[in-house]
Amino acid sequence: MMMGAFACKERFNPPEVDTNLNYLTVEGLINTSGVDSTIIRVNRTVKLTSKVAIQPELKAILTIESNDNLVKRTLVERSGGIYYALPFALDATKQYRLRIRTSGGKEYLSDYTEVKVSPPIDAVGFEAQTNGVQGLQVYTNTHDATNKSRYYKWDFVETYKYNTNNFSSYIVDGRSIRQRNLPGEDIYYCWRTINSSNIVLASTLKLTNDVVAKAPIKKIPPGDERLGIRYSIIVNQQVLTKDAFDFWEILRKNTEQVGSIFDSQPSQLQGNIHAVSNPAEIVIGYISAGTIQRKRIFIDAGEVPVEFRYRRSGACPVDTILPKDYASTFYSGGQIPLDALTVPPSPTPIAYTTSSTGCIDCRLRGTNIQPAFWQ
Amino acid sequence: MAQQQGAKLIDVNLQQATITQFVSELEIKTGYYFYYEANKFDSLRVTVQLNQVTLKTVLDAAFKNTPYNYAITAQQQVLLTKGLTIQTQLAAGFFNSKPVVPGAKAVPVTTDYTVALAEKQVVEATSENKTYEIGIKGASKTGTVTLAGYVRDVKSGEPVIGASIYIAALKTGIATDQFGYYSLNLPRGPHILLVRGLGMKDTRRQVVLNTDGKLNIEMQEQVTTLKEVKISAEKVANVRSVEMGVNKIDITTLKQIPAVFGEADVLRAVLTLPGVQTVGEASTGFNVRGGSADQNLILLNDATIYNPSHFFGFFSAFDPDIVKDIELYKSSIPEKFGGRLSSILDVTNREGNKKKFTGSAGIGLLTSRFNIEGPIDSNKTSFIFGGRTTYANWLLKSLPKEYKNSRATFYDLSLNISHQINEKNNLYFSGYYSADSFRLNSDTSYAYGNRNVSLKWKHNYNNKLYSVITGGYDRYQYNVGSSLNPVNAYKFNFDISQINFKADFSYFINPKHTLSFGLNSIRYQLTPGTNKPVSNESLIVPEKVPGEQALESALYLGDKFNVSENFSINMGVRYSLFNYLGPQTVNNYAPNLPRTTVNLLDSTTYGSNKFIKTYGGPEIRVSARYIVSENFSIKAGYNTLRQYIHLLSNTTAISPTDVWKLSDPNIKPQFGDQVALGLYKNFSSNTIETSVEVYYKRLKNYLDYRSGAVLVLNQNIETDVLSTRGKAYGAEFMIKKTAGKLNGWVSYTYSRTFLKQDDPNAGELINGGAYYPANYDKPHSFNLIGNYRFTHRYSVSLNTVYSTGRPLTLPVAKFYYAGAERVFYSERNQYRIPDFFRTDFSINIDGNHKVHQRFHNSWTVGIYNVTGRRNAYSTYFAQEGGVINGYNLSIFAKPFPFINYNIRF
């Protein structure tokens, strides 16, 4: 009865919007902690059809100002539209804003915003969920005894250790093949780091106490490679003002909603940054001031239910390469030798085995340098 | 023998004698036997005073100047006839008697009356061939009298609604009202009434009107129809009625429209009418002439239905086996209705069969339904009861993975009882109960339901005046709950209830004027939202948005004025008044500043039943019709309406999480006016009807939302809504073929709706204060409903719908923010989703048509969305792993076969 066709989801490509609107986008936090740097990213919007996602705004002058005019701190351009200032503590009772002067001479100002100091994260935990959408749910708990925080935003960075299918003991060194120096030249184990692209928000406004219990941060689907060896996540917590929360909520609604039967209409995004000469000009972004709290946890595959663990799939067939083919395969072909075939007692290999690079070299998707925080 | 005829001399002294009295008198006195057809003589009144005369003289005198004749046979028999003379002789001389001399030609009855035939005596007119004498034969032979009564189904005793009673000679007529009641002003004298009713056999009645009187007419159901008789009732209606923009669908038509899952669906049928557009696929929310979904007043037997859909909108709340007909007013809204800006959808349920128990049942893939009706005591009281339920979980299990854990059930129950107290008083009870619950994969469950009861008392004061007093209670409620995470376990409740009182009067003054007047009152009690923790661990603060109370009242007066034979005007005025009542705490905002929490000054608390704010004003309802020729007329109308209740919905469909909001000091009532013009022409002896209607509408204080508005549990909802102005205009074309093997209609509508928010004090301009298309603005829409009947038992139906895609706010740029690519949306509603197109097809197979079998059964087999077009139910963009993808979610994206079995007993 073709019931599978009851509902169906397919790609919808909007008509190309040809004009490049070139709106300024500003992202960042005026970090008042004195511990962390302040990092502000200034970019431009691009066309939907554009292959580049980021069009940085270069050579702008960014200044942090306080509402009593006593603080004026100019940021330094690092690269690609990223501007920073080294840690400096700011008085949390004052209000701050950001001034941007573009290389084109246009001036932009954010609204003065109060400082929101984040309470520490109480815990980051995880649990296997077998109801609803299955997965390993990473959550966070926090609270503010003063009941003043109320609006929370989290982002996170995930790192996990993984290995490839085939272990390579040999390395191509110029026009020869030699044994790998381990662990320095190991390409079997790697670490992959993924920055969060989700906006995670929560409000405790409707609770009697400013307590966040098990706010879902990240759900790892069963069988994901993250759950193969060891996984780590660091959660960054920020407290927002109501206005900032609204901005992030709209941003989240506009871009991360999942197709559901009850959709709401997208909303127009309004930030707190305005062009000084033309208040009607659209500027995307919200500049907040405050501090960030962090917490990192590690999850070993052994702590995860067996059925959630990563199961390697896909075949990695091994070929044998004879010396006449070394040049075309290894020296110039870019293939990586796995093991040597020898005929004892001669130690000289008569051939090397290999397979596709993706089955051998973990660095294609990560780094084989262990991160400093890794335990 | 011939001697005998004249031989016996008798004395006769009769005053206003009926034929029975007359005959028995003569039989006693002469010993002759009389043979006659009583019903042909029942209009005869005999007044004779003769002494010592023969039978022949008496008969001559009695039948002088009437169409009646007599013949006296040799066997001492008297044969009375009307119109023709019986020859009693087979051949000359065969008998001794002579041929009878026929009576003289007919002239109007002029005899004085002395027997007081009470006016209250109701003539039950069951025969076409009888002539019914109405009232007391009086001296006056000029002037007009009022004839009134009920038209009923002879089999079930149910009233026939919308039956037309037409007097061809006078080119005048009237349609019966919702009770099957009619009242006509006619000149004294003989008339032939042509009676046509939906699904009934055409019939006629011969009457002679003397004084005001009552005539009840019984009609027979059209068991098998080749020609759709219902249409002939509309022949009068289409061109001749003064109302414009009124569409009526009876259940026969309804059942011919292919419907998803094979169940006739009231709202789906409404959606095929010109000027009506669906909110979306699989939704029964609808937009009428550029109005939003909440601007339709949906009435079921005068009870307000707040949520007219079941099961995500795949089914409408109305039980198709109980519904009698549906009337949609979209232009000329009668003054007795009010409270919504766009339309009134008036759904009427049947009255139960007053003569015997009958019922029906239907079995489909997803739902089953059952109904039974019958008399409670003979002829006076009847009931009809219907119920439906679903077993649709299997369908949900076949949904894509993300919906696999979904559940949905619903059921509804309807009960109507009608009781005739006496000829002047009727009571009607109506009850409706529905319950829906569903869960869409997540742990969040939804439940909603309508509950309605109403009691209606109809009282006839006299032929010219009757009243209908209605009292009722309506309630709509829903709840949303989740208990997966004990810390956040909650249950959210919303409900709205209203107590209604209505008194409607109809007064037929004379043929030129029919007055309607009355008053309505609604007491609202609304709980905008309560949120409660449902576990001990839950940290959810019990939260409640304070309840709202209000009183909406209206007085109205309308006159249907027939200026001349060809020109009629309906003029009405309705004065509506809205009182927002305490207890309530109302926020006060700084004047001339945006209503935002920043500008909140203080609040005022009002006590119970205190008048906090009063809105009100007159509403004008005028429509006029000019008949240019027999089958061509022009109509025009102007309406103003006020709406004191708003639906807060961030989605385009009515979903069970929407919140109704009463107007309050910070949220003004909506106001709309509409001017419309229509041309109506019928062809081919009224079997093809065509119409063109154009309209222009203005809206004021329609609510749109600020960006990122929160609508649920919002204590200051006025800070999240924006008041907009709107305009809508359009043209509707319709061609309807009403008779023949092939029938159906084609309609095309061009319509636009724009909103505007340009108040700089509102704090947020939408699209810079320019007009923008409303969510439901769909310029082009086309509908085809076709039905072809091969034989009495087999017919096929086709339904084709096309409309422009609804407006959409599209992403226009992308940027990188917070670790991912994001989209920036265009100004509101600047783009459109792909056009909507769908064709459905069904075959209806009736069992045999033997009238006297115990069960009648039928099958409906069909395909929904024959072309398998993937119409967008929802279009959205989702960020997945840093990439932005656009998606189109469609429901029923492939041809969907259905089958349904119905049985009637």
Q: Is there a single domain that holds both residue A222 and residue A270?
A: no
Residues 6+ apart with CB under 8 A from B189: B108, B141, B208, B209
Determine, yes or no, domain membership for A286. Answer: yes
In a domain, B239, yes or no: no
Shared domain check, B447 and B394: yes
Report helix, strand or coil for B254.
helix
Test A17 with B812 for CB contact under 8 angstroms.
Answer: yes
Query: Looking at the predicted structure, is the pLDDT value of residue B437 above 60?
Result: yes
- Report the half-sphere exposure of B378 (CA within 13 A, side-chain side): 0
Instruction: Say yes or no: A225 contacts chain B, CB-CB below 8 A.
Output: no
* CB proximity list for A279: less than 8 A, separation 6 or greater: none
Residues B831 and B798 in one domain: yes
d(CA B695, CA B690): 17
- Report chain A residues whose CB lies below 8 A from the CB of B405: 132
Report CA-CA distances (Å) from A221 to A164, A227, A352.
20, 9, 38
A204 and A138 within one domain: yes
Q: CB-CB: which of B485, B827, B894 is closest to A5?
A: B894
The amino acid that residue B157 corresponds to is: G
* Cβ separation A257–B878 shorter than 8 A: yes
Residues B213 and B259 in one domain: no
Whether residue B881 and residue A197 make contact (CB cut-off 8 A), yes or no, is yes
Spatial distance between the Cα atoms of B316 and B265, rounded to a whole number of angstroms? 6
> Distance, in angstroms, between A347 CA and closest chain B CA?
49
Same domain, A268 and A329: no
First to last CA, chain A: 55
Assign 3-class secondary structure to B442-503.
CCCEEEEEEEEEEEEEEEECCCCEEEEEEEEEEEEEEEEEECCCCCCCEEEEEEEEEEEEEE
* Contact between B872 and A280 using a beta-carbon 8 Å cutoff: no
Q: Which CATH number characterizes residue B829's domain? A: 2.40.170.20
Residue B402: its chain A contacts at CB < 8 A?
Answer: 133, 258
Task: Tell whether A51 is within 8 A of chain B (Cβ).
Answer: no
Q: Which residue of B442, B877, B889 is in closest CB contact with A7?
A: B889
Q: Choose between B157 and A141: higher pLDDT.
A: A141
The answer to whether the Cβ–Cβ distance between A5 and B819 falls below 8 Å is: no
- Tracing tokens 């020898």 back to the chain, one arrives at A342
Do B276 and B170 lie in one domain? The reply is no
Of B617, B544, B614, give the one whose Cα is nearest residue B581: B614
* In a domain? residue A307: no
- CB contacts, 8 Å: A9 with chain B: 400, 887-890
Cβ-defined contact of A268 to B652 (cutoff 8 Å): no
Residue of B nearest to A27 (CA): B817
Q: How confident is the model at residue B181 (pLDDT cuts 50, 70, 90)?
A: confident
- Give the domain CATH number at B74: 3.55.50.30
Is residue B115 situated within a structural domain? no
Residue from A2, A262, A284, A365 whose CB has the most chain B CBs within 10 Å, to mutate: A262
**What's the sign of the alpha-carbon dihedral B636, B638, B644, B647?**
positive
Q: Are residues A41 and A71 in the same domain?
A: yes
Q: Report the gap between the CA of B799 and the closest CA in chain A (Å).
A: 20
B146 and B7 within one domain: no
Share of chain B above pLDDT 90, in %: 25
Examine the domain organization and report whether A145 and A279 are in the same domain: no
Q: A261, B874: Cβ pair inside 8 Å? A: yes
Is the pLDDT at B384 greater than 70? The verdict is yes
Q: Is residue B524 part of a domain?
A: yes
| Over residues B668-677, mean pLDDT | 94
Q: Is the domain of B316 the same as that of B440?
A: yes
Residue-wise pLDDT for B604-629, tens only, equals: 999 999 999 999 999 999 999 898 88
Taking CA atoms, B112 is separated from B47, B208, B347, in Å, by 8, 15, 49
CA distances A55 to A47, A109, B647, Å, are 10, 20, 43
pLDDT at A267: 66
Q: Which residues of B630-765 form beta strands (DSSP E)?
A: 632-643, 645-648, 659-662, 670-683, 688-705, 721-737, 742-756
Tokens matching residue B165: 């009673």
Report chain B's terminal Cα–Cα distance, integer Å.
60
| Contact assignment for B878 to A255 by CB distance below 8 Å | yes
**Pair (B78, B128) in one structural domain:** no
Contact map slice: A 94-153 vs B, CB within 8 A? 131-133
- DSSP H helices, A39-175, are none
Does one domain contain both A126 and A226? Answer: yes
Whether A132 sits inside 8 A of B893 (CB atoms) is no
Indicate whether B806 belongs to any domain: yes
Does residue B488 fall inside a structural domain? no
Q: Give me the residue label for tokens 């041309």.
A: B679
Within this chain, do residues B19 and B131 fall inside the same structural domain, yes or no? no
Query: What are the strands, taking DSSP E only, across B305-406?
Result: 309-310, 315-316, 323-329, 343-349, 358-364, 367-377, 381-390
Ranges assigned E (strand) in B222-378: 246-250, 276-278, 286-288, 296-300, 303-304, 309-310, 315-316, 323-329, 343-349, 358-364, 367-377
- d(CA B728, CA A205) in angstroms, rounded, equals 41
The CATH number that applies at residue A256 is: 2.60.40
Helix (H) or strand (E) holding B891: strand B883-891
Phi, psi of A91 (to 5 degrees): -65, 120
User: From the CA of B583, how many Å to the nearest CA of chain A?
Assistant: 24
Q: Which residues of B touch A263 (CB under 8 A)?
A: 651, 874, 876
Q: Is the pLDDT of residue B219 over 50?
A: yes
Residues B591 and B708 in one domain: yes
A256 and A275 both lie in a single domain = yes
pLDDT digits (tens, 9 = 90+) for B264-276: 788 888 888 888 8
Q: Which segments of B567-665 are extended strands (E)? A: 567-581, 584-589, 600-606, 611-629, 632-643, 645-648, 659-662
Q: Does A1 touch chain B (CB under 8 A)?
A: yes
In-domain check, residue A304: no
Find the closest chain A residue to B822 by CA distance: A255
Q: Contacts of residue B395 in chain A, CB cutoff 8 Å?
A: 3, 6
Q: Global pTM?
A: 0.69
Q: Extract the tokens encoding A267.
A: 């909303």
Query: Residue A5: inside a domain, yes or no?
Result: no
Residue B55, H or E segment: helix B55-63
Per-window interface: A 320-349 vs B, CB < 8 A: none
Say whether both A154 and A72 belong to one domain. Answer: no
Who contacts A72 (Cβ-Cβ below 8 Å, separation ≥6)? A63, A64, A65, A66
Higher pLDDT, B104 or B385: B385
* Mean predicted confidence (pLDDT) in B186-193: 85
- What pLDDT is recorded for position B262? 66
State whether A2 and B887 contact (CB < 8 Å): no
SS3 B202: coil
Contacts of A262 in chain B (CB under 8 A): 651, 653, 655, 657
- Clarify whether residues A108 and A131 are in a common domain: no
Q: How far is A211 from chain B (nearest CA, A)?
A: 8
Nearest CA in chain A to B820: A197
Cβ-defined contact of B878 to A12 (cutoff 8 Å): no
Q: Are residues A89 and A131 in the same domain?
A: no
pLDDT in tens, chain A (375 residues): 233 445 677 777 666 556 788 999 999 999 999 899 999 999 999 887 777 878 999 999 999 999 998 889 999 999 889 999 999 999 999 999 999 999 999 999 999 999 999 999 999 999 998 876 788 999 999 999 999 999 999 999 999 999 999 999 999 988 889 999 888 899 999 999 998 888 898 888 767 889 999 999 999 999 899 999 999 999 999 999 988 988 887 787 665 544 433 445 566 777 899 999 998 899 999 999 999 999 999 999 999 999 999 988 777 889 999 989 988 888 888 889 999 998 888 888 899 999 999 899 999 999 999 999 998
If asked whether residues A112 and A258 sit together in one domain, one would say: yes
Closest Cβ–Cβ partner in A133, A255, A260 for B823: A255
> Which residue among B63, B82, B101 closes a domain?
B82
Cβ contacts (< 8 Å) between A207 and chain B: which residues? 539-541
- Print the domain residue range for A89: 19-118+244-291
Q: What are the pLDDT digits (tens) for B890-901?
A: 767 788 788 888
Q: Answer whether residue A296 is part of any domain.
A: no
The pLDDT, as a whole number, for residue B239 is 62
Contact check, Cβ <8 Å, B872/A12: yes
Percent pLDDT > 70 in chain B is 84
On whether residue B104 sits in a domain, the answer given is no
What element of type H or E holds B251?
helix B251-256
* Out of B46-55, B328-337, B525-534, B565-574, least confident range: B46-55
ipTM over 0.90: no
Distance (Å, rounded) from C-alpha B625 to C-alpha B686? 18
Q: Which residues of A touch B484 (CB under 8 A)?
A: 131-132
Mean pLDDT of chain B: 81
Verify that B215 and B339 share a domain, yes or no. no
Window 200-219 of A, Cβ < 8 Å to B? 206-209, 211, 213-214
Q: Note whether residue B308 is domain-resident.
A: yes
Do B296 and B158 sit in the same domain of this protein? Answer: no
Is residue B388 domain-resident? yes
The 8-class DSSP code of residue B8 comes to S
Q: What pLDDT shows up at residue B901?
A: 86
Q: What is the mean pLDDT of residues B631-656?
A: 80
B894:A9 CB<8 A: no
Q: Residues with Cβ < 8 Å from B131, sequence gap 6 or more?
A: B39, B40, B42, B43, B190, B206, B207, B208
Tokens of B527: 């709980």
Look at B650 and A270 and tell me if their CB atoms are within 8 Å.
no
B316 DSSP β-pair partners: B309
User: Helix axis angle, B19-30 relative to B55-63, nearest 10°?
Assistant: 170
Residue where the block lists tokens 């993706």? A358
Residue-wise pLDDT for B756-797, tens only, equals 988 766 766 788 788 999 888 999 999 998 888 888 788 888
Quote the tokens at residue B556: 């109205």
pLDDT band per the 50, 70, 90 thresholds, residue B825:
confident
Question: Strand pairing of B688-705 and B721-737?
Answer: antiparallel
Which one of A12, A25, A246 has the shortest CB-CB distance to B887?
A: A12
Structure-model confidence comparison of residues B460 and B853, the more confident one: B460
The total of structural domains in chain B comes to 3
Report the chain A residue with the minimal C-alpha distance to residue B807. Answer: A265
Token pair for B461: 């004061």
Q: Which residue range(s) make up the domain with B320?
A: 246-409+425-482+496-542+553-608+617-904
Given this model, what pLDDT does residue A284 score? 93
- Best probe of the A interface among B532, B541, B817, B898, by most A CBs < 10 A, is B817
For A245, the 3-state DSSP assignment is: helix
On whether residue A107 sits in a domain, the answer given is yes
Q: Which pLDDT value is given to residue B878?
A: 66
Q: How many domains does chain A have?
A: 3
Residue B88 near residue B99, CB atoms below 8 Å: yes
- pLDDT tens-digit readout, B279-330: 766 565 788 988 888 899 999 999 999 988 887 777 888 888 888 888 889 8
Nearest 5°: the CA angle B297, B302, B306 is 40
| Nearest partner of B387 among B431, B356, B345, judged by Cα | B431
- Find chain A residues with C-beta within 8 A of B897's C-beta: 1-2
CATH number of B172's domain:
2.60.40.1120
Same domain, A50 and A89: yes
A358 belongs to a structural domain: yes
Record: contact B815-A251, CB cut-off 8 A: no
Amino acid A261: pLDDT: 37
* A275/chain B closest Cα distance in angstroms: 17
Q: Decide if A297 touches B, using CB distance below 8 A.
A: no
Per-residue burial over B330-349, b = 16 or more CB atoms within 10 Å of its CB, e = otherwise = bbbbbbbbbbbbbbbbbbbb
Minimal CA–CA distance to B341: which of B619, B663, B617, B671? Answer: B671
Q: Hey, are the CB atoms on B312 and A9 less than 8 Å from each other?
A: no
Q: Are A201 and A152 in contact (CB under 8 A)?
A: yes
Tell me if chain B has a CB within 8 Å of the CB of A82: no
Question: Among B190, B222, B254, where does a domain finish?
Answer: B222
Same domain, B404 and B449: yes
Q: Residue B164 has what DSSP assignment?
A: E
Classify the C-alpha dihedral A88-A89-A94-A96 as positive or negative.
positive
Beta-strand ranges (E) seen in B511-566 are 513-533, 543-545, 548-562
Tell whether A37 is covered by a domain: yes
Distant-in-sequence, close-in-space partners of B683: CB < 8 Å, separation ≥ 6: B631, B689, B690
Using a CB-CB cut-off of 8 Å, the residues of chain A touching B403 are 7
- From the CA of A164, how many Å to the nearest CA of chain B? 22
